[in-house]
Amino acid sequence: MTAKLKPWIFTAHCPSRLGTVDVVTRFMAETRNYVLEMQSFDDHELDRFCIRVEFRPEDDNFSEEAFNGAFAERAAGFDMEWQLRTPEHKPRVAILVSKYDHCLNDLLYRFRTGQLNIEIPVIISNHPDLEPLAQWHGIPYHHLPITPDTKAEQEAQVWELIQQYDTELVVLARYMQVLSPDLCRKLDGWAINIHHSLLPGFKGAKPYHQAWAKGVKLVGATAHYVNNDLDEGPIITQGIQPVDHAQYPEDLVEKGQDIERVTLSRAIRYHIEKRVFVLGQRTVVFSD
């Protein structure tokens, strides 16, 4: 059985105008690019159009430079901004983590098996506990302890490492620190966080124990982009699972961690596959 070839991915957004779909599809046909999948959405509240196309070039002389140069002429009349992602591209992802290992373990497994088409050049933590896990995978691990007095210095080191390793995405895989407004601004739009979602909401220590004491019937998780609104950035994915009286606090924690793993990995995949468009505080997500 032959391996499935990875497609080129074209994404674009622009003001809502007549002919937006046509300008893309007509260009694809005229330049001999076979459309494998196409999704589009027009947000009439914000007057914004979004489109995502997976395609396979049928011209042996296809080049990214030629594509962008030719499409620029077509896009100019629509004020369209676009990106073209090559099949070979593997985004470099920096992972921030504290002591909980369930999300990190899951991401490393999906990275190792190729389920997530990424590179992980660095893992950063405010605790030393998970360094053996990183070492086993041959990934540099930087332990940067933090206190209220050293927060600014520690975040400066985090930012320096993110730049040093040339990362394109930062993932907070249960990094149990509130980022400063300055670091949030720097990471706006390219950092993903995961946290529990309990109905009703519970804050502070042991949220699952609080939820059990109130008899909750749903546990879940939310993956979102980081911004200066604590745990309220644009949402990418959410997961949910019913529970009942037979589950004790430890059972809720286990179920919650399972949902966190799946929800976070899906959010990362949607991001790297260019399925997410951020429109203000909302997102358009073209699921597969």
pLDDT tens by residue, 20-77: 999 999 999 999 999 999 999 999 999 999 999 999 999 989 999 999 999 999 999 9
Q: What is the average pLDDT across 256-267?
A: 95
Last residue of a domain, one of 85, 108, 138: 85
> Which of 85, 105, 127 finishes a domain?
85
Does residue 153 belong to any structural domain of this protein?
A: yes
β-bridge partners, 35: 55
Tokens of residue 255, six digits: 């179920």
Average pLDDT over residues 233-262: 92
Q: Kindly state whether residues 79 and 206 are assigned to the same domain.
A: no
- Assess if residue 2 is contained within a domain: no
- Same domain as 175, residue 140: yes
Final residue before a domain boundary, out of 85, 111, 139: 85
Q: What number of residues does the chain have?
A: 288
Examine the domain organization and report whether 17 and 154 are in the same domain.
no
Q: Global pTM?
A: 0.93
Q: Is 228 exposed, middle or buried (0-12, 13-18, 19+ CB in 10 A)?
A: middle
Same domain, 275 and 219: yes
Describe the crossing of helices 102-113 and 249-272 by its angle, rounded to 10 degrees.
40
CATH number of the domain that residue 52 is part of: 3.30.70.260
The type of residue at 162 is I
Does 3 reside within a domain?
no
Domain count, the chain: 2
Residue 266: the pLDDT is: 97
- pLDDT, mean over the chain: 92
CA atoms within 13 A on the CB side of 209: 3
Domain that holds residue 30: 8-85
Considering the domain boundaries, does residue 68 fall inside one? yes
What percent of the chain is predicted at pLDDT more than 90? 80
79 plus 188 within the same structural domain: no
Q: Which two tokens stand for residue 181?
A: 């407004």
Q: 124 lies in a domain? A: yes
Q: Are residues 206 and 250 in the same domain?
A: yes
Nearest partner of 263 among 174, 200, 178, 177, judged by Cα: 174
126 and 72, same structural domain? no
Task: Indicate if 156 and 44 belong to the same structural domain.
Answer: no
Q: Which amino acid is at 36?
A: L
Catalytic residue among 231, 244, 251, 288: 231
Is 188 a member of any domain?
Answer: yes
**What pLDDT is attached to residue 197?**
81
Specify whether 55 is located in the same domain as 117. no
Residue 4: pLDDT band with limits 50, 70, 90: low
Is residue 231 annotated as a catalytic residue, yes or no?
A: yes
Name every residue whose Cβ is closer than 8 Å to that of residue 134 and which is 6 or more positions away in sequence.
Answer: 123, 140, 141
Residue at 103 is within a domain: yes
Give the rounded percent of residues in the chain with a pLDDT score beyond 70.
97
